[in-house]
Structure 1
């Protein structure tokens, strides 16, 4: 198939990844390409040049409009509208069989566009007002929609999802996250340094538990980082930087427990799955889809309860490592995920064929 992978353009689709959406778009393009599909990545122009790249905008908008996300900045909205309108027009004229839409923008959802090029839209976030209506109005025979967890599918469609919407769990390449049979007694945390990811609470809980902790990830919110996290760093809590996948896998594998502290309606939790592949038991806030993804081998605490999270860290230290890897291999591999993507593409194409036949009749 000739496939357009349309991305969110806040950050580049390149290593080291800013977050799960960027990682999954990269893995999607790479995986489909490896399976013999003709893939064009519609992303910011500073994304990975190994792909056939069609730039939605010249650079990721976090560089052009730093800190403007979710603030209703008119110039950013106009910038994105212009870029996505042109990209959607190029997709329509580009001879694509299907588009996999990860953009979180309203234009690719328009029924006239999904009727022209069959579309699979993946919703990587909880529902929000600026997109909710467009998503619900976009359902049609040539459009398939996915959420990353059953929790998020129910959040987008509280009255029950249409038949065109389903759960598509994210997937990773287990070989890229090697299993390590034993850790060194330390804890690790990965993610964007923002209040909703709450690394400061991870540091506090690890300190109560008496377990050294290393933080990894991009410093997205500098004010929060300087005010809430830096004062907590010392010999037992350190920042290890923002690492690419291979280096991060090594750091994860040597630890004994992964600390996961979402303070929002977590839609999936890709970093936890990567850690589980390395064998790490997870101590986590029970928020959003966390329990659904991690499973009963995890140790959970009520969201925001630092003392309970400290107890969960201690409990996770004694958990066996093999079941974590087994869960990833059973449910969250890249091959399983790509198989589902290809099935969704075929379903969207079948919807287009049926619509054409019906119109002809």
Structure 2
């Protein structure tokens, strides 16, 4: 099939990934191409050049409009809308068999557009007012919508989702996150260093539990980093940097437990299954989809409960490493995810 993949444009779709949405689009493009599909990635122009890129904007908007996401900036809004409107027009005229929409734009959801090109829209965020109405009005014969977890689906449709909506769990390539039989006794945390990801709670819980902790990921909120994270570094608490996939997998795999500390209704938690594939049990907060994703592979505490999280670390450390690995192999592999995507494309095409 000839597939258009429309990405979020806040950051480039390129490793090392800033967040899960960038990783999702990159791995989807790479995986579909490996299966023989003709994939065009509609993303920021500074995304990974290994793909056929059709630029929505020349550069990702966090570089051009730094720090203005979610602040209603009219210049950013106009740039994003103009870029997506033109991209949707090119997709409609481009002879594509299907569009996989990973953006947060309302424009690909318009019925006149989904009537032109069969569309699968993957929702990666909790519901919010600027998008909710457009999502709810968009299901139709040629448009399928996916959520990454049952919990996310219930948040978007508390009274029950329409039949065009289904759960599409994220997946990872086990070969890219190799299993290790034992860890070194330390804890690991990875993700965007932003308040909603809760690294400060991981630090506090690790100190309570008396376990060394290394943090990995990009500094998304400089003030948060300077106020809440940097002053806590030193001794058993360290920052390991923003690493590419192979280096990050090697570092995560050395640890003995993964700390997962969302402070929002996390729609999925890709970082958790990456660590689980390496064999790490998870100690975390029961927010959003955490229970659905972690299952028997970890122990969860109430959101924000640092003492409870410290106790969960000890419980998680007792879980044999093959258990989290097996859960990923059963539910969250890249091949399962890609199989489901191809089935959804067939449904959208009728």
In which range does the TM-score fall when normalised by the shorter chain?
Answer: over 0.9
Per the TM alignment, residue 123 of structure 1 is displaced from its structure 2 partner at its CA by 0.1
What is the alpha-carbon distance in structure 2 between the residues aligned to residue 279 and residue 28 of structure 1?
24
Are 1:35 and 2:71 counterparts? no
Query: What is the CA distance between 1:297 and its match in structure 2?
Result: 2.6
For 1:324 and 1:135, how far apart are their aligned partners in 2? 34
Distance across 2 between alignment mates of 1:137 and 1:235: 53
Structure 2 SS opposite 1:116:
coil
What does residue 118 of structure 1 align with?
Answer: 118
1:129 match: 129
CA contact (8 A) 2:296 2:324 kept: no
Report the equivalent of 1:83.
Answer: 83
**Equivalent residue number for residue 359 of structure 1:** none
User: In the alignment, does 2:140 pair up with 1:140?
Assistant: yes
The residue number in structure 1 matching 2:203 is 203
SS in structure 1 at match of 2:258: strand
Structure-1 separation of matches of 2:31 and 2:130: 31
Alpha-carbon contact 2:269-2:293 (below 8 Å) kept: yes
Give 1:318 shift: 1.7
Q: In the aligned structure 2, how far is the partner of 1:135 from the partner of 1:203?
A: 37
Q: What does the per-residue CA deviation read over 1:55-93, in whole Å, with 9 as the maximum and x for residues that have no partner?
A: 000011111111111111111110100000000000000
How many Å separate the matches in 1 of 2:123 and 2:237? 34
User: RMSD between aligned alpha carbons?
Assistant: 0.5
Paired residue secondary structure (2:214): strand
* Distance in 2 (alpha carbons) for counterparts of 1:193 and 1:349: 40
- Residue of structure 2 equivalent to 1:355: none
SS of residue paired to 1:228: helix
2:325 matched to 1:325?
yes
Answer yes or no: is 1:45 the counterpart of 2:37. no
Q: Deviations over 1:1-20 (max 9, x none)?
A: 00000000000000000011
2:56 corresponds in structure 1 to: 56
| TM-score computed with the length of structure 2 as normaliser | 0.99
Q: Is the 2:276–2:297 Cα contact (8 Å) retained in structure 1?
A: no
Q: Report which stretch shifted further, 39-48 or 314-323.
A: 314-323
Question: After superposition, what is the alpha-carbon deviation per residue over 1:29-65, rounded to whole angstroms, capped at 9, x for unaligned?
Answer: 0000000000000000010000000000001111111
Structure 2: how far apart are the matches of 1:46 and 1:150? 34
Is 1:187 the counterpart of 2:149? The answer is no
Question: 2:149, 2:268 within 8 Å by CA — same for their partners in 1?
Answer: yes
1:96-155, Cα deviation, whole Å (9 max, x unpaired): 000000001000000000000000000000000000000000110000000000011111
Give the length in aligned residue pairs: 350
Query: Residue 102 of structure 2 corresponds to which residue in structure 1?
Result: 102
For normalisation by structure 1, the TM-score amounts to: 0.96
For 1:23, the equivalent position in structure 2 comes to 23
Q: What does residue 300 of structure 1 align with?
A: 300
Q: Distance in 2 between matches of 1:310 and 1:325?
A: 23
Cα distance in structure 1, aligned partners of 2:165 and 2:19: 24
The 2-side partners of 1:334 and 1:273 are apart by: 11
Q: 1:72 aligns to what? A: 72
> What CA distance in whole angstroms lies between the structure 1 residues aligned with 2:283 and 2:204?
13
Counterpart residue number, 1:353: none
The runs of 4+ residues in structure 1 deviating greater than 6 Å are none
CA distance in 1, matches of 2:92, 2:319: 51
Residue 291 of structure 1: aligned partner: 291
State the Cα distance separating 1:317 from its structure 2 match: 1.5
Looking at structure 2, the residues matched to 296 and 335 of structure 1 have their Cα atoms a distance apart, in angstroms, of 22
